[in-house]
Structure formats: structure tokens, C-alpha cells
Amino acid sequence: MRNPKPQEWTAEQYSRGYIADYKPYNFVDGEGVRNSIYVSGCLFACKGCYNKAAQSFTHGKPYTQELENEILADLEADHVQGLTLLGGEPFLNTNILNPLVKKIRQKFGNAKDIWSWTGYTWEELMLETEDKLELLNMVDILVDGRFDISKKDLTLQFRGSSNQRIIDVKKSLAAGEVVIWDKLKDPVSFQKTEPLARRS
């Protein structure tokens, strides 16, 4: 498992604009029926990673305008709650995801929610590059932190190890501290974090 320094890894440096997969109408990547885009490339190299092939930044196929149109069209279905961003590492593919999520917000407002998984912790993202913070600000629910095989727990809701958190992004940004998703259903209790320094 690798631990980056603040702003050490950038999408501009690493992303090649590839995706590993796109899965419409699934029930496993967050709450409700979701469309999921798996971007390619991750540097965290967590032991036991469930999607190791997607660690390569050239795995899969290039992201295209045709795929973007398909994603936007699939989100029009009334039964689809929203889009999920996975990988790979979404926050190292902001060149793909920021324009896509902006278009989703322009088209649907807040009627469709955005979930994202990331190897970054919330606290690390607070010190990250502007493009990462821009994506974070457009996300509703964030599952944060590296997968830690020593803390693997198959009973956890929507995550693989007990160090990972399901964070309500909007409430956390407003409060200046991590606010856990209020629909969490597993027995793990989280310690309240110290208030976060606001970025100007």
C-alpha cells in the first residue's frame, strides 16, 4: 500500500483517459439502482485489491463522447437513483469525471445522486489539488480510505475494510468535519474527527 504526500499524484500526470468498465442498472455500488463507471488507474496498490487489473492507467478502453452520451441517457430512467464513480481511482481521473459530473448536474440538478469510492481519506483530500476538490464538491456520498486487508470485514455495508467510511459530503463540508452517512447499517462505530481547516 502506498501513501502519497499532499498533491504528489495528479490526474494531469497519470490519467490516460481510459475506463475499465461501465455497468448500468446495478444494485451493489451504493444505494438504489445505479449506473457505475470504473475508471482506469490507481497508485495506492492495496494488498488484496478486488480490481487489480484496473490499477493500470491503460486498462480497458478510452473514454469517449459516445460513452458519455450513453451514461447521460441511462440516467434518464426513473428507477435509476444515480451514478457511482469507482476504479481504479476516480480522483486520479478528474479529467474524465469532472466534465461528466458537471453535465449530470446541469441536466438533472440534484435529482440524481453521485457516489464515489476513493483510496484517499477525507483528510487527505482536504489537502489535495483543485481538480480533486472540485470533484469532491460535486459528489454526494464518498466511501474513503485504502482497502486494508488486515481490517477486511465482509459484513460491512458498501465497503471492504473497517477503516473505510461512508461520508455525507455536503454535510461534512458544511460542518467542517466528517459526517457519516445517516443510513449506515453496520455495527461499526466511528470516532468523531476533529474539525477540519477550511480552505479559502
33-56: per-residue pLDDT in tens?
A: 999 999 999 999 999 998 899 999
Q: Torsion angle of alpha carbons 148, 153, 154, 156, nearest 10°?
A: -100
Q: Which pLDDT score is estimated for 192? A: 43
Least confident of 7-11, 14-18, 188-192: 188-192
11-175 — its CATH code? 3.20.20.70
pLDDT exceeds 90 at position 198:
no
Higher per-residue pLDDT: 177 or 195: 177
- In the numeric block, the cell 466511528 is attached to 190
Cis ω on the peptide bond leading into residue 88 (within 30° of 0)? yes
- Average confidence (pLDDT) over 134-144: 98
Q: Which strands sit side by side in the sheet containing 61-62, from one edge to the other?
A: 61-62, 18-26, 33-39, 80-86, 113-117, 141-144, 165-168
Handedness of CA 39, 40, 42, 46 (dihedral sign): positive
Q: Is 183 a residue whose pLDDT tops 50?
A: yes
The whole-number pLDDT of residue 200 equals 41
Q: In the structure, what pLDDT confidence band is assigned to residue 187 with cuts at 50, 70 and 90?
A: low
CA-CA distance, 133 to 126, in Å (whole number)? 7
Q: Inform me whether the pLDDT recorded for 190 exceeds 50.
A: no
For 65, the grid coordinates are 463522447
Q: What is the pLDDT of residues 59-108, one digit of tens each?
A: 999 999 999 999 999 999 999 999 999 999 999 999 999 999 999 999 99
pLDDT at position 2 is 92
Beta carbons of 44 and 121 less than 8 angstroms apart: no
Q: Measured at the alpha carbon of residue 134, what is the angle toward residues 128 and 135, in degrees to the nearest 5?
A: 95
